[in-house]
Amino acid sequence: MNPGEQKNSHQDFLDDFNLQVHVAVIFGKDILKYVCNLCQQQFDYLERLPKDLLLYIISFLELEDIARLSQTSRKFKKACNSDDLWEDIVLRYCDTITPEMQALALDVGWKEIFFTNKLQLQKKIRRRQQRVKNPEDGPAEVHALST
């Protein structure tokens, strides 16, 4: 054994509170929890997936299933609400993505773009274009046309 190295069985580790405290102090609570789960043969394969692969898998779920999955853990909530996921979904389901839509997505997020109907989307794009043209004017005023 090397200096400072200690070999224990999984059960010895689970029973040794002081050793667990040292692991938590050095590596953090999440690593301690992960190691304890490994010692109990509770493997969370989804937790170990790279983010890009996880988002790719989630992108094939139905919208209702994405909503349900987002409620299961902080990691899944973050993944299910990520702009990367919703950009992929928008690109897959929408026929045309204009540069104006992409610019708006940077402001409001791809999930918002996906759930906004076409008429509302056009209004938001127009408002954004007016703000970009006249940033010093503040919110654009709406003028009623007399007929």
User: pLDDT tens-digit profile of 36-69?
Assistant: 988 998 877 777 788 899 999 999 999 999 999 9
Residue 2 lies in a domain: no
Residue 141 lies in a domain: no
Residue listed under structure tokens 């400072």: 4
Q: What is the mean pLDDT of residues 105-133?
A: 84
The single-letter code of the amino acid at 118 is: K
Q: Are residues 65 and 26 in the same domain?
A: no
The single-letter code of the amino acid at 138 is: G
Q: Are residues 72 and 103 in the same domain?
A: no
Query: What whole-number distance in Å separates Cα of residue 118 and Cα of residue 111?
Result: 14
Q: Are residues 96 and 131 in the same domain?
A: yes
Residue 110 lies in a domain: yes
Q: Where are the beta strands (DSSP E) in the chain?
A: none
Residue span of the structural domain in which 63 resides:
49-81
Q: Are residues 63 and 92 in the same domain?
A: no
